[in-house]
Amino acid sequence: MLEEPRVSPWKGSSKMDGIEGTARLVQLRFKPLWLYVDALRDFCGFFAKSSFEDERLGQRVGLVVHELVENAIRYGDEGELELRIERNGASVSVLVANTATDDRAARLREVFQNLTSQSPVDAYQTALQRAPRLPQTESGLGLPRVRYEGQVELSLDTTPGRVCIIAQGAA
């Protein structure tokens, strides 16, 4: 049985203390290519680790970036992808936005409704139990894993032709 994660805030330490308001730490726009997924995970994870002097935070940011970018590539269309990492007070946000058809955006809204109706641990356990029954090309683990292992809350914003997922650590 999985345990409820201990939520530790994505707080800054010495290098980032004193930043007031929102500070954009990383902002990238790029074509959705698979070869970028691992490189972005490594870069963003290392960047967060270095900026906050916190190895665990770096791992969490890397995980969140990897899963959100991978999903954006898999379920988006061929348009531009945007990745932002921001600090707002004592929390950090990872934003991934991409272009997507209205049908895919509607499907994602359904996924989010199911995902956010459960606690992070329950949603992840449900996804783990359901995964073996899904087609081999989709595991259904990405977003539940982000919430549980990344210790973040997820929000979704959709506008015609565009999807934006924001993962934010608790302060």
Q: Domains (ranges, CATH) in the chain?
A: 22-169 (3.30.565.10)
What pLDDT shows up at residue 22?
58
What pLDDT shows up at residue 6?
41
- Total-model pTM: 0.82
- Distances 75 to 27, 32, 163 between C-alpha atoms, Å: 21, 10, 10
Three-state DSSP at 107 gives helix
What pLDDT shows up at residue 132?
75
What pLDDT shows up at residue 170?
54
Gap between the Cα atoms of 79 and 157, Å rounded: 17
What pLDDT shows up at residue 99?
93
What pLDDT shows up at residue 166?
94
Mean pLDDT per segment of 10 residues, for the chain of length 171 residues?
42 43 79 94 92 88 95 87 87 93 89 89 85 73 89 92 89 32
Which residue in this structure is represented by tokens 């698979």?
34
Gap between the Cα atoms of 94 and 114, Å rounded: 21
Question: Taking a C-beta distance cutoff of 8 angstroms, is the pair 130, 140 a contact?
Answer: yes
